[in-house]
Structure 1
């Protein structure tokens, strides 16, 4: 696992990923986990941090 762990069960992470990549339709945790892993690979943790910041700032 290392440090590349994403809390896909977290509602904030699910909402952020759903907003920016799924048209706002809330995705289940496993779909978010799979999407981040397949799309961003080793950078999924870093991408998640930026997505959460953008979501928080309502960008």
Structure 2
């Protein structure tokens, strides 16, 4: 598809984080899909944050 933009940093301003959390196996599957399709670590973290799926760091 010509002109398709995969740079998530340009989309961060248009996608709002959710306050609704997924639970259990649904959240695990969603994390796996995001990780598998993210182009780089920063994209993965950004998407997980937006979806409310990022695990807290210690």
TM-score over 0.5 for the alignment? no
TM-score (norm 1): 0.32
Higher relative contact order (CA 8 A, sep 6+): 2
Structure with a larger share of its residues in helix: 1
The higher radius of gyration belongs to 2
